[in-house]
Amino acid sequence: MKELIERLRSKFNAKNIKEQRKNFVFITVEKKDLEGCVLYLKEFEGYGHLTLLTALDWIEKDQFELVYHLHNYSNKTDVSVKTFIDRKNPTMVSINNLWAGARVYEREIKELFGIDFPGCPRVNDPFALEGWHEIPPMRKDFDTKKYSEETYFPRPGRYTKDNVAQMEEQLYPVEAEVKNGIAETVRKK
Amino acid sequence: MTEVNNEENKIIKPDYCDPELFCTALPKEVPRMNNIIQKFYDWAQANSLWLLAFGTGCGSIEMRPLYTARYDISRYGIAPRPTPRQSNLFIISGYVSVKTLKRIIRSYEQMQNPKFVIGLGSCTINGGMYWDSYNTINRLDHYIPVDVYVAGCMPRPEALIAGFDELKKRIKEGRGEGANEYAKNFAWYKANQKKIIKDWDMPDYNW
């Protein structure tokens, strides 16, 4: 694993290397190096299985993070290759020529995050959402609770009760009242 | 029936609402007779329940032991059928996404009168644990009429058997009038369905 990390560092300028376990490592590469990096891992290092391809929304950094999780069957190790792309114009190179299974992941990410993969077959077809007109629902700026309340006729009378608060009210009613009163006054000020 | 145009990489949908292919007549209300023959019909209908084997959510897992040797629903005279044309009891088992709701409406409208619906699980009542999801409906009774709800997450097959008993009782009392209710409030149900299903490409009533 150590030699592999050294090779990736020299070839693809891999940064933020984090050894999660002794057989599992996270690396971060530039967007332009990513296709070469996963191709190198597949063809020369034996990481032939694409376990997972997913996206994360870092709205405060104005970036999307893409995670390519690869597995090696011969020595049972995993490498997770990450890259950051711009959130304003999210486009990424498609890797469907390396793994045919990546088509499904890319289609799903296109629908749920709005990241485009030009050249991937049927990437614009609806996956689970038919006739979706809003912004992609897995983005952080999409308010799913507000959308659900406006769209899906919520049944009135639904309330939640925190376990701690309920037990306090049952067992120590006076103390709970005093504590909540103090908390409310402090919050008001 | 769909053709893929490779130049624009987009599906071209055919016109599903062709009146030559589909009957466009709307559903009609069948008035009750209020005599002893009607009572005999109710009794007979309560003892002739054929359920549509269509699992919409996680609850369909509970329906497999219900059909088979462990709980064996056929000892109560209830059996699954594979198509909506042959069944009169629709179990909405669990959460309903918008994509599934479209198929549920098509299947429900193809079932023959009299038809009954059991909502299985909390998700059909108020959304359950998916109450704030962007893709899961909250109240099933806004889209199709529901006779009996079985609450729980997930209810066990015994609870569903109790739900069948409740449904039989309702039908014998003459309260299993879901199909008539659907025909009576057809415009309201259709408006709710079309509010949710944005790409409506079905006829308004397909049977």
Buried b (16+ CB within 10 A) or exposed e, B98-136: bebbbebbebbbbbeebbbbbbbbbbbbbbbebbbbbbb
What percent of chain A is predicted at pLDDT more than 90?
Answer: 68
Report the range of poorest mean pLDDT among A140-144, B120-124, B198-202. Answer: B198-202
Residue B32 resides in a domain: no
Phi, psi of A50 (to 5 degrees): -85, 100
Buried b (16+ CB within 10 A) or exposed e, B69-90: eebebeeeebebeeebeebbbb
Task: Please give the Cα distance from B161 to A98 (Å, whole number).
Answer: 51
pTM over cut 0.95 = no
User: Residue A1: is its pLDDT beyond 80?
Assistant: yes
- Determine the pLDDT at residue B128: 87
- Over range A53-81, report the average pLDDT: 94
| C-alpha separations of B28 from A88, A125, B180, B186 in Å | 53, 38, 8, 10
Instruction: Tell me the pLDDT tens digit for each residue of A22-36.
Output: 999 999 999 999 999
Q: For residue B40, which amino acid is it?
A: F
Residue B44 resides in a domain: no
A148:B127 CB<8 A:
yes
Residue B143 resides in a domain: yes
What percent of chain B is predicted at pLDDT more than 70?
Answer: 88
B134:A148 CB<8 A:
yes
Nearest-CB residue to A151 (from B9, B196, B199): B196
> Can you give the three-state secondary structure of A139-189, one letter per residue?
CCCCCHHHHHHHHCCCCCCCCCCCHHHHHHHHHCHHHHHHHHHHHHHHHHC
User: Residue B12: is its pLDDT beyond 70?
Assistant: no
| C-alpha separations of B148 from A11, B116, B156, B171 in Å | 64, 9, 16, 11
Nearest-CB residue to B199 (from A123, A131, A151): A131
- Determine the pLDDT at residue B167: 95
Its domain, for residue B55, covers 50-196
Residues of B in contact with A134 (CB under 8 A): 134
- Determine the pLDDT at residue B1: 39
Annotated domain spans of chain A: 2-155, 159-189
Q: How many domains does chain B have?
A: 1
Kindly tell me the sign of the dihedral angle through the C-alpha atoms of B198, A150, A141, B127. negative
Residue B36 resides in a domain: no
- Determine the pLDDT at residue B17: 56
Q: Is B202 on the interface with A (CB under 8 A)?
A: no
Task: Please give the Cα distance from A62 to A85 (Å, whole number).
Answer: 9
Extended strands (E) in chain A: 15-21, 24-28, 49-58, 63-72, 77-86
- Per-window interface: B 92-111 vs A, CB < 8 A: 97-99, 102
Q: How confident is the model at residue A69 (pLDDT cuts 50, 70, 90)?
A: very high
Instruction: Tell me the pLDDT tens digit for each residue of B55-102.
Output: 888 888 888 899 899 999 999 989 999 999 999 999 998 899 999 999
User: Residue A66: is its pLDDT beyond 50?
Assistant: yes
Phi, psi of B132 (to 5 degrees): -110, 25
CATH of the domain at B79: 3.40.50.12280
- Determine the pLDDT at residue B96: 92
In the three-class reduction of DSSP (H, G, I as helix; E, B as strand; rest coil), residue B173 is classed as coil
Residue B175 resides in a domain: yes
- Determine the pLDDT at residue A131: 84
Expressed in angstroms, the distance from the first to the final Cα of chain B is: 19
CATH superfamily membership of A2-155: NADH:ubiquinone oxidoreductase Nqo5 subunit (3.30.460.80)
ipTM score assigned to the predicted complex = 0.80
Residues of A in contact with B134 (CB under 8 A): 134, 137, 142, 144, 147-148
Q: Are B118 and B147 in contact (CB under 8 A)?
A: yes
Nearest-CB residue to A158 (from B98, B102, B126): B126
- Over range B134-158, report the average pLDDT: 92
- Determine the pLDDT at residue A128: 87
Q: Is B141 on the interface with A (CB under 8 A)?
A: no
| Structure tokens given for A52 | 């997972």
User: Residue A102: is its pLDDT beyond 90?
Assistant: yes
Task: Please give the Cα distance from A120 to A103 (Å, whole number).
Answer: 6
- Determine the pLDDT at residue B16: 55
Q: How confident is the model at residue B19 (pLDDT cuts 50, 70, 90)?
A: low
| C-alpha separations of B205 from B19, B38, B107, B111, B194 in Å | 11, 27, 11, 12, 12
Q: Choose the mutation target among A96, A140, A151, A152 for the interface with B, i.e. most B CBs under 10 Å.
A: A152
Q: Which residue, chain included where needed, has tokens 């709307």?
A: B26
Higher-confidence residue of B204 and B74: namely: B74
Q: For residue B173, which amino acid is it?
A: E
Residue B40 resides in a domain: no
- Determine the pLDDT at residue A74: 94
Q: Is B64 on the interface with A (CB under 8 A)?
A: no
Expressed in angstroms, the distance from the first to the final Cα of chain A is: 56
Instruction: Report the gap between the CA of B99 and the closest CA in chain A (Å).
Output: 6
- Determine the pLDDT at residue B8: 45
Higher-confidence residue of B5 and B197: namely: B197
Q: How confident is the model at residue A165 (pLDDT cuts 50, 70, 90)?
A: confident
What percent of chain B is predicted at pLDDT more than 90?
Answer: 54
